[in-house]
C-alpha cells in the first residue's frame, strides 16, 4: 500500500512538472517567437467572442439571485439601498471571475483538451514535428494568450451584466429606490474591487489553458483516452480555480 501511494505521488509531481514546463515553453514562444496573428485572433474569437452569450446569461441571473437571497435580510433593517453595493462587490470580487472561468472551462477547456488529444492519438502532432513546426508554439501558445486576454474581458462584461441583473430584480421587481441603489454603489464600491477580480481572471485563464493543453498532450489510449483526458481536464481546472481563488482573495483583499 505504501509503494502504491509513493507511485501515485511520483506520478502527481511528474505531471505537475511536465505541465509547468509546457506552460513556460509556451510563454517563452509568446515572448520570443510569437505565433502568427491569425492563429491568435482565431483563438481569441473562440475563447472570448463565442463564449460571450453563455457569460451574459449566467451573470445576469447571478446578479438577480444575489438580490433575491439578500433582500429579505436587508429589508428587516430597512437597508435595501445597500443592495447595489452588495451586488457590485460580489460580482467584482468573486462571482464575476469565478463563474466566468467555470463557464470557459466547461465550454472551451474541454474542447482544447479534446482537440489536442485527438491530434495526439491520430499522430497529427508527430506530423507537425516532421514538418518542422513546433507543436507547443503552434498549439499551446495561442491558446494561453487567448485565455489570459479573454478572461478579464469576459469578466468585465460579467460584472456589468450582473450588476444590471441585480438592478432589475431590486428596482423593477422589489421596488427598491433606484437613486439610492446606484448612489450607495458609487459610495461604497472601489475600483480596487474590480481590479482584483480582473487579476483573478487572468490567472484563471492561464490555469485553464495550461491544464487543458497539458491533458491534451498527455492523452493515451485512443478515443476512450480522449474522453478520460477531457474529463480529467475539466475536473482539475475547476478544482484549481476554486483553490487558487481562495489564495488570491487572501492576498489581494
Dihedral, 74, 84, 101, 158 alpha carbons, nearest 10:
150
Residues 171-202 as b or e (16 or more Cβ within 10 Å = b): beebebeeebbbebbeeebeeebbebbbebbb
pTM: 0.93
Q: Which stretches within the chain are classed as H helix?
A: 2-32, 37-47, 52-76, 83-90, 96-104, 110-121, 124-130, 135, 141-167, 178-188, 191-217, 222-252
Provide, rounded to the nearest whole percent, the portion of the chain with pLDDT above 70: 99
Boundaries of every domain in the chain:
2-252
Q: Is residue 224 exposed (0-12), middle (13-18) or buried (19+ Cβ within 10 Å)?
A: exposed
Q: Is the dihedral of CA 40, 42, 46, 52 positive or negative?
A: positive
Residue 3, pLDDT score: 72
Beta-carbon contacts of residue 4 (< 8 Å; ≥ 6 apart): none
Residue 24 has pLDDT above 80, yes or no: yes
Residue for grid cell 506520478 = 11
Q: For 42-75, write each residue's pLDDT tens digit.
A: 999 999 999 999 999 999 999 999 999 999 989 8
Task: Give the pLDDT band of residue 9 (cuts 50, 70, 90).
Answer: confident
Amino acid at each position: 500500500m505504501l509503494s502504491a501511494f509513493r507511485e501515485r505521488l511520483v506520478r502527481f509531481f511528474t505531471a505537475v512538472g511536465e505541465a509547468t514546463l509546457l506552460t513556460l515553453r509556451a510563454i517563452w514562444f509568446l515572448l520570443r517567437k510569437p505565433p502568427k496573428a491569425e492563429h491568435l485572433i482565431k483563438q481569441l474569437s473562440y475563447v472570448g467572442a463565442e463564449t460571450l452569450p453563455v457569460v451574459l446569461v449566467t451573470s445576469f441571473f447571478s446578479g438577480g439571485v444575489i438580490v433575491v437571497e439578500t433582500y429579505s435580510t436587508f429589508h428587516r433593517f430597512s437597508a435595501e439601498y445597500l443592495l447595489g453595493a452588495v451586488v457590485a462587490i460580489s460580482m467584482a470580487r468573486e462571482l464575476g471571475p469565478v463563474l466566468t472561468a467555470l463557464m470557459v472551462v466547461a465550454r472551451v477547456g474541454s474542447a482544447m483538451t479534446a482537440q489536442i488529444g485527438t491530434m495526439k492519438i491520430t499522430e497529427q502532432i508527430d506530423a507537425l514535428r516532421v514538418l518542422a513546426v513546433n507543436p507547443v508554439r503552434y498549439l499551446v501558445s495561442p491558446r494561453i494568450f487567448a485565455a489570459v486576454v479573454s478572461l478579464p474581458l469576459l469578466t468585465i462584461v460579467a460584472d456589468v451584466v450582473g450588476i444590471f441583473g441585480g438592478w432589475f430584480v431590486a428596482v423593477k421587481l422589489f421596488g427598491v429606490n433606484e437613486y439610492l441603489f446606484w448612489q450607495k454603489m458609487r459610495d461604497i464600491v472601489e475600483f480596487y474591487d474590480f481590479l482584483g477580480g480582473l487579476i483573478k481572471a487572468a490567472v484563471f485563464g492561464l490555469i485553464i489553458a495550461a491544464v487543458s493543453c497539458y491533458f491534451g498532450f498527455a492523452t493515451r489510449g485512443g478515443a476512450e483516452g480522449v474522453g478520460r483526458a477531457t474529463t480529467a481536464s475539466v475536473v482539475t481546472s475547476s478544482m484549481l480555480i476554486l483553490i487558487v481563488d481562495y489564495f488570491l482573495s487572501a492576498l489581494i483583499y
